[in-house]
Structure 1
Amino acid sequence: MLLVSRLLLAVVLGLTSTSVIASPLVPRVPHERRGALPRGWNAVRRADSDFVIPLRIGLSQSNMQSLEDFLLDVSHPESPNYGNHWSPAKVAETFKPSAESVSTVRGWLVESGIGADRVRLNPSGGWLVANVTVAEAEELLGTEYYVYEHADTGHEQLGCGQAYHLPEHVSPHVELVTPTLHFDAKVKQRRGVPPEKRSVKSKVGNPGSGPVSPKTTGTIKNIFNQLEHCDEQITPICLQALYDFVHIPLATNKNSIGIVEYTPQAYVPSDLDMFFANFSKSQIGQRPNLISIDGGTIDIGFGGFDVNGESDLDLQYAMALVGKAQPVTLYQTGDDVEGASFDTLLDALDGSFCTFEGGDDPTADPSYPDPFGGYQGALQCGGVTPAHVISTSYSYDEWELTPAYEQRQCAEYAKLGLMGVTVLFSSGDYGVAGNGGICLDADGEPDFPGFAFAPAFPGGCPYVTSVGATQVNPGAKVTDPESACMQVIFSGGGFSNVFPMPSYQKSAVEHYLSKYAPDYPAGTYNTSGSRGYPDLAANGANYVVAIQGEFSLVYGTSASSPVTAAILSAVNDARLAINKKPIGFINPTIYSSAFQHAFNDITNGTNPGCNTNGFSAEPGWDPVTGLGTPNFARLVAAWLLLP
């Protein structure tokens, strides 16, 4: 967990003499801290004490201490319940907040002077809500509220200082309280902002907004769709050769694969046809099955590499690799005004996420109907069936979000795993650094000349499968071993500052640290037994992608994740064809001894950043390329042997 920001502390102390108000009632403990303000935000004034805010208290979920055990029970290859995935109803009921949590938190509010008639439990049982003044909120939470302004947009947002506090007996019953510390997605429009700045979009879909976004070296005129040129241009036949990927789908009516995009990122239909005309002629005219989530649209009115590159890349390669017979679902998330956060997608996939499990954070997640004029429908809560494999090529830097917010979201990925969903995320394109090469200082604050590594999220969540990047070395044959990607981008990897090491990777990670750990100064990266990522890798360099009517060379773990998703989807197809269950959460399986032979081990290359060489790719798992790249023939054979 990141330490308190010295810079923010100085700012807050400059505005007020203290950030904690002594309570005459009960002793309090810090519940959430923020290490630093996200880029661009600054405290500009104290909030008016009589301003009324909707205080929302997300209650702790039941049985969370058993979450990993539940997941391993259906996901570990040696478990007698392997593949016996849960129903959504069972997931919702198992993790519903307890009556004790409701009673304890409600009692605290009433005892603190908030009238019982002002406190209501939302219909789902996950939130306690009360409209309170800023003064009341400050007294309840032992903090002070400020108005924050974004330097680039002029948008303002209400939030508290670097921490808020809860009574000792209340804190275990609360996940998070809003509005408080969370700045990761939604921003509110300030009156008087010029029209050209009134587009309010989530950072997750904005060009270059996170540690994963494709890069390009420009357009190309000559296409070499030949195995002899895979060191210069990656096309579908190169990937099939690299990963022994030959498969004829047999169970497409049972199987499903989903690609997630966040508006304003959007594919161009004519680009798909241009790509298919060169690499998969039978798919000309084929489109992904669009599921629009909260106004998700590809009709955004403008284009270019920054807005079309991601979606074009993801869909062209996912669709070409799974072939014409296997439909691909596109989860287009968020309208073209507010955009979306990861929670917006999770709300739609699992209704319990926006009900039983506390609901959205109004200071972090977009609200629908869109108050700024976009999508006017209600927030989608459930109703979207998760695909068996879901690939996402977007992320945040871990330091940008609070640990409580990340932990709550990470738990939701575990619940998708319980339901048999494989969730893939790109690991990042800046090696051990964060977005744009940013690093951390000794206090965990973002600092470009900093020395400490900046891990990504959700890649560091132990309940997703994080995918790094490799390359065919210049001048090498497609049959030669790949290396960690060191052309244009560097494979994201390292160790989380939030999540502990999961049991399934303990042996692999400890082997790396005992034999190959770099000799860096203390504090350079987390050595306290934390989650290591990525889990595996696939090629991420020199992809030929049709974008706005031209072919470009594209680089990034943005490519690695959908390619891996296509290969795993084919494994599901093979299992479903013989009436077995989908592979679901794969991490316990791929780290098991039975699968050690199923990956092409990558032993060359590093992932530099923060004025270091980062980590090195070594035999076995490493925080550059994970367990290695997939060998489909071996993977499908091994998975077909499982129940």
Structure 2
Amino acid sequence: MIAAYRKLFALLLLVGHAWAIPSPGASSPYADLKVKESLRQAPSGWTLVGEPPADHIISLRIGLPQSNFETLKEHLFQISDPDHERYGQHLSKEEVEEFVKPPSHSLDKVNAWLKAHGFAEVDLERSPAKDWVSIKVPVKLAEEMLGTTYNMWKHDESGDTLVRTTSYSLPSSLHAHIDVIQPTTMFSRFNPLSTTFHWPDAASRSATYKAPTRASDARLAAVDPSCSSTITIKCLQQLYNTGGYVPQVPEKNSVGITGYLEQFANLNDLKLFYQDQVPNAVNSSYEFVSVKGGLNNQTTNSAGAEANLDVQFAFGLTFPTPATFWSTAGRPPFLPDLTTPSNTNEPYGDWVDFVLAQEKVPYVISTSYGEPEQTVPEAYARRVCDSFAQLGARGVSLLFSSGDGGVGDGSSSASHRCKTNDGRNATRFLPTFPAGCPYVTAVGGTTEVPEVSVDFSGGGFSDYFPRPAYQDDSVNAFLKTVPSGLYKDLYNPAGRGFPDVAAQGTSFRIFYRGRSASIGGTSASSPAFAGIVTLLNDARLAQGKSPLGFLNPAIYAKGYAGLNDITGGYSNVGCGTKGFNATAGWDPITGLGTPDFLKLKTILADNLD
């Protein structure tokens, strides 16, 4: 059907006619359009540059209501609560889908609306639970269906161009049956969170330094002195006390890394890394999985620093555990003459839809990508977050980097980047998404030996998601230490606090395009912590127990005793402020701390059924 629209449009262009397509008509029940979602203005930093061709293809994703998500959430917290009798009794794929399938009347109404606009079932792509439906549609038809006008917008700093609108509408009769449609009002720029760092002397840092409040753990005396300047697999094993643990039942276990935006993990670089740091793993590999046409370019110059970092350390720590790397096609820049279908979605949505459709999913998955929360429309952020909850209910531990901008833009000087995009243009800290989703484990960064907080570690409080009960006590204890009035109106103290945990985030020795390189960021911290969680799963699976699944309730209730509390270091500057300091207990820069594997093994594997 859509191919026919495009052929018709091309023909009309040749003969000089205007665009003409079938429409439901003025008397149709779909003619009563009311605004569903809108922005007061385009976010700061985006400039309108023109109109897209009328036959430019948009891939619209339509989210239908999930019939019983609240009940699914109850199940998730029960099976993740170490004190509940159902702990570890994860749900099957089919059980999860039953909870999130849309009500039948919602499905009927949306189907009728799509049919009225010329779509047949063959034109629709549905999620397994049918709570999402995707269609490829020419811009002009999308504008008619949504009562809107799409424009081309250019990001001033990067030059990226997107096709977006600042408002869209739906027939009044459909508002209760459609939660969200994207891409419409989403101006987010989906970016990896890694950076190569060249450290200045501590005295020249813009961040403030707070000395730790307790003596260093005596075991750190055994850590190789070189780990103060270069982090290797051996360093992480020493720092996080793996005690020479060797996976006992790797064939029962699994770990995965997500890759986006043409970040390719290079097999030759992985071999060089293994030769350097994990000799037993030389010539081993991982399963490559393409999502939405994601590529696997193995040319030397196509190797991605982010992908190499994630794969080398997560898989190096867990060898010989079976590993998966997903390559999800990115969001390509818009080209004015592009009329063929292109991926205009956020890759998170594409990836999670794909993985939820699989019968088997790795038990631990690390993602080192994120963006300011406010750049993702709240309705869409909530639906993606709810999808992560579905994976948690199935026994998957999802870890996300907390971000590399401190409490905002990583700058101690006032910046336009730390302004709200709601029309007020007010200064505001910038929480990170998806790290602020309450159904994932956010990982902040540390540095040096003994470990202290690092100044770029993303942390703060979500403006979209309220604080979950599992972290109430820990976060409230921290908030009592914050001076009255400090950063008033810059953050939401009732929001979900992040990160939850932390790991080293500087000077990781990777191999990149045939040579060794030093790289850092919380994108190093997440795969490092994921490696430790994978080893904990191995210890549980070897005892006939289930994998850990959604980590946070167990970490806040019991696991904190197996973490190294980071009580000092550099504040996480941003938005013209010094940000927050690490302190005893939870804090919005290192969470509850870094892992001690042997202690965590005792708490979460040996003594927890």
Same fold (TM over 0.5): yes
Partner residue in 1 for 2:67 = 62
Deviations 1:288-313 (A, max 9, x none): 22223333333264627xx5221221
**1:433, CA displacement in angstroms?**
1.1
Which one of 231, 234, 239 corresponds to residue 237 of structure 1? Answer: 234
Which one of 475, 484, 495 corresponds to residue 453 of structure 2? Answer: 484
The 5 Å alignment of 1:530-549 reads 530-549=495-514
Provide closer, same or farther for how the CA distance between residues 411 and 501 of structure 1 changes in structure 2, counting only shifts above 3 A: same
Matched residue SS, 2:380: helix
Partner residue in 2 for 1:452 = 428
**1:100, CA displacement in angstroms?**
2.7
Partner residue in 1 for 2:573 = 608
**1:634, CA displacement in angstroms?**
1.2
The answer to whether structure 1 residue 330 and structure 2 residue 325 are counterparts is: yes
Q: Is the 8 A contact 2:67 2:101 kept in 1?
A: yes
Matched residue SS, 1:607: coil
Provide closer, same or farther for how the CA distance between residues 623 and 169 of structure 1 changes in structure 2, counting only shifts above 3 A: farther
| Distance (Å, rounded) in 2 between the aligned partners of 1:433 and 1:154 | 21
Partner residue in 1 for 2:3 = none
Provide closer, same or farther for how the CA distance between residues 170 and 616 of structure 1 changes in structure 2, counting only shifts above 3 A: same
Q: Which one-letter code corresponds to 1:259 in the other structure?
A: I
The answer to whether structure 1 residue 410 and structure 2 residue 377 are counterparts is: no
| Distance (Å, rounded) in 2 between the aligned partners of 1:258 and 1:550 | 24
Partner residue in 2 for 1:80 = 85
Deviations 1:543-593 (A, max 9, x none): 12222233222111111111111100011001101110000001111011x
Matched residue SS, 1:266: coil
Which one of 213, 217, 230 corresponds to residue 198 of structure 2? Answer: 217
Which one of 404, 407, 419 corresponds to residue 441 of structure 1? Answer: 419
| Distance (Å, rounded) in 2 between the aligned partners of 1:433 and 1:317 | 27
Partner residue in 2 for 1:34 = 39
| Distance (Å, rounded) in 1 between the aligned partners of 2:262 and 2:297 | 9
Q: Is the 8 A contact 1:388 1:582 kept in 2?
A: yes
Q: Which one-letter code corresponds to 1:578 in the other structure?
A: Q
| Distance (Å, rounded) in 2 between the aligned partners of 1:266 and 1:129 | 27
Partner residue in 2 for 1:292 = 290
Q: Which one-letter code corresponds to 2:195 in the other structure?
A: P
**1:245, CA displacement in angstroms?**
1.4
Which one of 295, 312, 315 corresponds to residue 311 of structure 2? Answer: 315
Q: Is the 8 A contact 1:119 1:129 kept in 2?
A: no
Provide closer, same or farther for how the CA distance between residues 65 and 238 of structure 1 changes in structure 2, counting only shifts above 3 A: same
**1:132, CA displacement in angstroms?**
9.6
Provide closer, same or farther for how the CA distance between residues 48 and 326 of structure 1 changes in structure 2, counting only shifts above 3 A: closer
The answer to whether structure 1 residue 561 and structure 2 residue 526 are counterparts is: yes
| Distance (Å, rounded) in 2 between the aligned partners of 1:131 and 1:314 | 33
Amino-acid identity (%): 36
Provide closer, same or farther for how the CA distance between residues 595 and 56 of structure 1 changes in structure 2, counting only shifts above 3 A: closer
The answer to whether structure 1 residue 100 and structure 2 residue 100 are counterparts is: no
In structure 2, stretches of 5+ residues that fail to align are 1-27, 200-221, 333-341
Provide closer, same or farther for how the CA distance between residues 148 and 491 of structure 1 changes in structure 2, counting only shifts above 3 A: same
| Distance (Å, rounded) in 1 between the aligned partners of 2:513 and 2:111 | 55
The 5 Å alignment of 1:236-385 reads 236-246=233-243, 247-299=245-297, 301=299, 303=301, 308-323=304-319, 325-334=320-329, 341-351=347-357, 382=358, 385=360
**1:284, CA displacement in angstroms?**
2.1
The answer to whether structure 1 residue 596 and structure 2 residue 593 are counterparts is: no
Partner residue in 2 for 1:505 = 471
Provide closer, same or farther for how the CA distance between residues 30 and 149 of structure 1 changes in structure 2, counting only shifts above 3 A: closer
| Distance (Å, rounded) in 1 between the aligned partners of 2:312 and 2:125 | 42
Partner residue in 2 for 1:581 = 546
Q: Is the 8 A contact 2:71 2:99 kept in 1?
A: no
Partner residue in 2 for 1:464 = 440
Provide closer, same or farther for how the CA distance between residues 636 and 301 of structure 1 changes in structure 2, counting only shifts above 3 A: same
Q: Is the 8 A contact 1:518 1:615 kept in 2?
A: no
Q: Could you state the TM-score of these two structures normalised by the residue count of structure 1? A: 0.75
Q: Could you state the TM-score of these two structures normalised by the residue count of structure 2? A: 0.79
**1:54, CA displacement in angstroms?**
8.5
Matched residue SS, 1:174: coil
In structure 1, stretches of 5+ residues that fail to align are 1-22, 185-202, 219-224, 352-381, 473-477
Which one of 579, 601, 604 corresponds to residue 636 of structure 1? Answer: 601
Provide closer, same or farther for how the CA distance between residues 341 and 619 of structure 1 changes in structure 2, counting only shifts above 3 A: same
